[in-house]
Structure 1
């Protein structure tokens, strides 16, 4: 009778290779979508959880026959499910009221579960889960975007210099590309520029919607190029304009000299 508490080196190798394959298959989609946790991260999580599952089942086989020892193959696996949360939390980012990375965090958690399945030898479930996750991440993402693009509101926060016409230039861009402003909140502030001049600024938070989502990226590029814009954050293009700060400062100095 075959001992259920032992496993060959060949079987160990096969399970780890399958783990790398399944984790990489899911991570590839995240990598192509430019997410923080991508190809290598998912492979490492899947291999790691597989190793822990194998250790939990087969790593303590020498103690199985001891009278006072209780073997629980699920004990270490339970710690993987609990502990993987720290990695998922690191993939979640919050910018104001905008939250991103939830899907990546969920994919990391699922990859850990797939690794545990492979480590336990539950291959059919592991392969089925891998296929379903890839379909959900890749195919359903396109379906969701197609179905929700007419109803979904997008939030953009723009930090710009508070001078006449600055805000009007931004709102006119939205109108030109048929982007409706559902809500707008303004907050006054001031900022010391690199030339030592303190300028009045404002933070404007927009809620936007449109029937033509392809225009969002065009408008975002035009806003970034605006000389009055200091910084911008959005759910579809989170960025700071530090790389343009020097150019903006030079432009401000030229405008100041022109007005003298």
Structure 2
């Protein structure tokens, strides 16, 4: 019975001191925060994969890379961990696309790609590349927020193109931007380009 406490303490010895705990906490906290910022945009737009999903993806990716690096695994072996994370995010992103395509259109591509980016941000934070993680998050937010607004002004008017996509544009008045597919709300569109 007296061996129980030393055994339990030994199981928690992978964080030997306060400095190591601070590094781990900072990296995990940074990954969670940056993932949440990306997820906030998706949450605000009412997407199935929102704040919590992106936060968990980023945190999980950071943990997946942080553990092997902190346990002394060679970088070549850790690269296989990275490959696994990237593949896993592909499956998770595919689920976001499939779930939203029940009406026959393709939706969710932007959300799927934001999940993938959240994982990359988590990997960067987990590897101690916090500046890279912050810059990656800022780039993602620029794409999700600023480019979405710009994109609404340049998207083609599908009401003026024949259904088969061939031939000259249909004649008639042009629909206002808010009445066109995708509307004026920055949502993922059904045309497969988001």
Same fold (TM over 0.5): yes
Gapped runs of 5+ residues in structure 1?
Answer: 1-5, 65-69, 155-179, 185-208, 218-233, 237-260
RMSD: 2.9
Out of 78, 94, 106, the position equivalent to 2:113 is: 106
Pair 46,99 (structure 1): closer, same or farther in 2 beyond 3 Å: same
- Describe how 1:65-104 pairs up with structure 2 within 5 A: 72-92=77-97, 93-95=100-102, 98-104=105-111
Number of residue-to-residue matches in the alignment = 158
- Describe how 1:55-66 pairs up with structure 2 within 5 A: 55-59=67-71, 61=72
Q: CA deviation at 1:212?
A: 0.3
Q: CA deviation at 1:95?
A: 4.6
- Describe how 1:131-170 pairs up with structure 2 within 5 A: 131-148=138-155, 151-153=156-158
Q: CA deviation at 1:97?
A: 5.3
Query: For residue 212 of structure 1, what is the aligned residue in structure 2?
Result: 176
Q: Does 1:117 align with 2:124?
A: yes
Pair 144,76 (structure 1): closer, same or farther in 2 beyond 3 Å: same
Conserved in 1, the CA contact under 8 Å of 2:157 and 2:180? Answer: no
Pair 71,86 (structure 1): closer, same or farther in 2 beyond 3 Å: closer
Conserved in 1, the CA contact under 8 Å of 2:101 and 2:107? Answer: yes
Measured in 2, the distance between the counterparts of 1:103 and 1:71 equals 31
Measured in 1, the distance between the counterparts of 2:76 and 2:84 equals 16
Conserved in 2, the CA contact under 8 Å of 1:56 and 1:75? Answer: no
Larger Rg: 1
Out of 29, 35, 38, the position equivalent to 1:23 is: 35
Q: CA deviation at 1:124?
A: 1.5
Measured in 2, the distance between the counterparts of 1:81 and 1:216 equals 35
Higher relative contact order (CA 8 A, sep 6+): 2
**Where in structure 1 do 4 or more consecutive aligned residues deviate above 3 Å?**
180-184
Once the two structures are superposed, what CA deviation does each residue of 1:136-190 show, in whole Å capped at 9, x if it has no partner? Answer: 0011001000122xx2316xxxxxxxxxxxxxxxxxxxxxxxxx68439xxxxxx
Conserved in 2, the CA contact under 8 Å of 1:56 and 1:74? Answer: no
TM-score by length of 2: 0.71
Measured in 1, the distance between the counterparts of 2:116 and 2:141 equals 14
